[in-house]
């Protein structure tokens, strides 16, 4: 039961421009690569001394989304007179830290960044609204 990846079929031997997702970290790596340049895992389990040959290869728990990043995005969208925005910024930075710590298992970097941006925009909007309110109130 040998199942080698079909990367050795190149006729000309020239490096292929095709890419494939790394089964471990989902990064785009060259089709001909035998080792992921991002997570530094061997793609062929036979080459990886750290992997048990009996264990099913290419099985890693699927990456789940950072709850903090999701919360950040939701709070950023809700705004709640600036309160949601502040929560979005805090949750967003916490979410980013979480993703950086464990990028192989947690995703949601884009969501966290979106939450942070929305959060700052919301805070800015709140400050502008407050300034406008004071201005209107003063010159009434
Ligand atoms: Zn990888």
pLDDT in tens, 1-48: 555 555 544 445 555 468 888 888 988 888 888 888 888 888 876 665
The two tokens of residue 9 are 């079929």
Of the residues 26, 60, 94, the one at which a domain ends: 60
Confidence tier at 62 by pLDDT (50, 70, 90): confident
Residue-range definition of the domain harbouring residue 22:
14-60
Confidence check: pLDDT of 111 > 90: yes
Question: Residue range 53-73: average pLDDT?
Answer: 76
More confident residue, 8 or 88: 88
The reply to whether 104 falls in a domain is yes
Q: How far is the CA of 20 from the centre of ligand 1 (A)?
A: 10
The rounded Å distance from CA 113 to ligand 1 centre is 23
Residue 127 Cα to ligand 1 midpoint, Å, equals 44
Residue 70 and residue 55 share a domain = no
> What is the average pLDDT across 115-133?
95
Q: 121 C-alpha to center of ligand 1: Å?
A: 35
Taking the centre of ligand 1 as the mean of its atom positions, its distance from the CA of residue 38, in whole angstroms, is 5
If you write DSSP's letter for every residue of 71-123 in order, what string do you get?
HHHHHHHH-TTTHHHHHHHHHHHHHHHHHHH-TTTEE-HHHHHHHHHHHHHHH
The pTM of the full predicted model, rounded to 2 decimals, is: 0.55
The helix (H) or strand (E) run that includes residue 68 is: helix 67-78
pLDDT of residue 43: 80
Specify the number of domains making up the chain.
2
Q: What is the pLDDT of residue 95?
A: 96
Q: State whether residue 92 is helix, strand or coil.
A: helix
What average pLDDT does the chain have? 82
Are residues 73 and 111 both part of a single domain?
yes
> How far does residue 59's CA lie from ligand 1's centre (Å)?
13
In a domain, 9, yes or no: no
β-pair partners for 77: none
Question: What CA–CA distance (Å, rounded) separates 57 from 60?
Answer: 9
């Amino acid at each position: 039961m040998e199942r080698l990846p079909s990367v050795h079929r190149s006729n000309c031997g020239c490096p292929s421009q095709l890419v494939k997702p790394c089964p471990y970290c989902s990064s785009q790596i060259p089709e001909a690569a035998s080792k992921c340049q991002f997570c530094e895992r061997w793609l062929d389990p036979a080459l990886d001394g750290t992997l048990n040959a009996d264990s099913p290869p290419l099985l890693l728990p699927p990456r789940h989304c950072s709850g903090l990043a999701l919360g950040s995005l939701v709070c950023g969208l809700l705004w709640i007179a600036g309160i949601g925005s502040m929560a979005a910024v805090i949750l967003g930075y916490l979410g980013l830290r979480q993703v950086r710590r464990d990028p192989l298992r947690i995703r949601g970097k884009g969501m966290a960044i979106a939450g942070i941006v929305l959060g700052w925009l919301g805070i800015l909007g709140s400050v502008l609204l407050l300034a406008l309110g004071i201005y209107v109130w003063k010159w009434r």
